[in-house]
């Protein structure tokens, strides 16, 4: 029967999709378990390191403010490396699909900022680039590739070199909270120290060697590189978890579709059998007459 043969082909295709979804889900689960501990454990370390960085910046603001009063000058901002005075909005997306909702969920606040502000745009990942061009085809942007499943140092260096030239950096990425909960987050890093707004005192007092300026120059480059690498790993972990959920839903949907198609196939069989029995009965009646 043509209908039954068509349904058999559909069942075969849906079964293949189910196998594919299970394979993608299992691979994503393995990668998630492999990276989860290191990413989560590194959060506390970098958070504490960033607090130290803020203390050092507060110490420098205190020192510069005291010096400014003596010489009669009052700068509002200070930085140690050359920056272009601009803000950049960075989207960490993916190169491929099947990552569930996390990429689009991250894209929405990114586009919200891009439309409201005059920040320059940097896209990481082909998926994010496609989303961006669909909404802003004429807006200038910078683009970088980055592997979805690993951190390649050479690629990371090129991206960091590009974005550290900006005075204000806003990175939009997906963050892992649990296997069933991944949410978009934003990392904001400012290269300038605002002296006008620093009325508080540093939480700790430090002795600086060789000098406070040299230490801040080191922090300004190395801290950001560490923070950005952590954000990349956070984004990868969130994508793995989101894919596990997406593939689990796909597995369930394909299972239901196979059940529906099997039911339709049985209906065809019963209908054909009933028709055959009616034809046989009609033939017997005609033969008797």
Name the token pair of 99: 């990552």
Give the model's pLDDT for residue 237. 93
**DSSP letter assigned to residue 202:** P
CATH fold label, 21-198+212-246: Pyruvate Kinase; Chain: A, domain 1 (3.40.1380)
Dihedral sign from CA coordinates of 46, 49, 51, 53: negative
For residue 149, report the phi and psi dihedrals to the nearest 5 degrees.
Answer: -115, 5
| End-to-end alpha carbon distance in the chain | 32
181/238 Cα distance (integer angstroms)? 9
Find, among 64, 59, 49, 62, the residue nearest to 207 by Cα.
59
Largest CA distance in the chain: 125
Over pLDDT 90: what percentage of the chain?
Answer: 29
Give CA separation, 231 vs 33, 81, 93, 273, in Å: 17, 22, 12, 62
State the average pLDDT for the chain: 81
Q: Where are the alpha helices (DSSP H) in the chain?
A: 2-71, 102-116, 126-135, 153-163, 212-288
126/143 Cα distance (integer angstroms)? 9
Q: Where are the domains of the chain?
A: 21-198+212-246
Find, among 183, 245, 208, 194, the residue nearest to 21 by Cα.
245
Give the model's pLDDT for residue 223. 78
pLDDT (tens digit per residue) in 74-83: 545 555 556 7
What average pLDDT does this structure show over 93-103?
A: 91
Give CA separation, 6 vs 13, 31, 235, 265, 275, in Å: 11, 38, 42, 9, 20
pLDDT (tens digit per residue) in 40-63: 888 888 878 777 777 777 776 676
Q: Is a pLDDT exceeding 70 seen at residue 140?
A: yes
220/78 Cα distance (integer angstroms)? 12
Can you give the pTM of this predicted structure? 0.77
Residue pointed to by tokens 């919200």: 112
pLDDT (tens digit per residue) in 173-192: 999 998 889 999 998 887 66
Name the token pair of 256: 């239901």
Find, among 159, 183, 173, the residue nearest to 233 by Cα.
173
161/166 Cα distance (integer angstroms)? 10
Contact of 241 with 176, CB cutoff 8 Å: yes
């Amino acid at each position: 029967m043509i209908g039954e043969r068509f349904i058999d082909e559909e069942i075969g295709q849906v079964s293949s999709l189910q196998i594919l979804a299970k394979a993608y889900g299992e691979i994503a689960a393995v990668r998630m378990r492999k990276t989860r501990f290191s990413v989560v454990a590194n959060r506390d370390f970098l958070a504490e390191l960033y607090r130290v960085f803020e203390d050092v910046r507060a110490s420098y603001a205190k020192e510069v403010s005291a010096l400014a009063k003596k010489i009669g000058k009052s700068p509002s901002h200070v930085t140690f490396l050359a920056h272009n005075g601009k803000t950049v909005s960075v989207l960490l997306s993916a190169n491929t699909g099947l990552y569930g909702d996390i990429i689009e969920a991250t894209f929405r606040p990114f586009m919200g900022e891009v439309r409201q502000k005059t920040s320059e745009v940097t896209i990481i990942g082909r998926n994010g680039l496609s989303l961006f061009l669909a909404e802003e085809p004429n807006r200038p942007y910078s683009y970088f590739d980055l592997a979805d499943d690993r951190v390649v140092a050479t690629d990371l260096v090129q991206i960091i070199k590009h974005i550290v030239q900006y005075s204000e950096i806003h990175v939009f990425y997906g963050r892992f909270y649990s296997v069933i909960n991944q949410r978009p987050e934003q990392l904001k890093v400012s290269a300038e120290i605002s002296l006008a707004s620093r009325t508080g005192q540093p939480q700790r007092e430090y002795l600086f060697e060789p000098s406070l300026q040299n230490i801040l120059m080191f922090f300004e480059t190395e801290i950001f590189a560490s923070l950005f690498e952590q954000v990349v790993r956070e984004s990868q972990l969130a994508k793995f978890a989101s894919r596990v959920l997406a593939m689990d839903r796909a597995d369930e949907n394909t299972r239901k579709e196979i059940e529906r198609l099997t039911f339709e196939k049985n209906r065809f069989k019963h209908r054909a059998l009933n028709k055959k029995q009616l034809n046989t009965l009609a033939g017997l009646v005609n033969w008797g007459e």
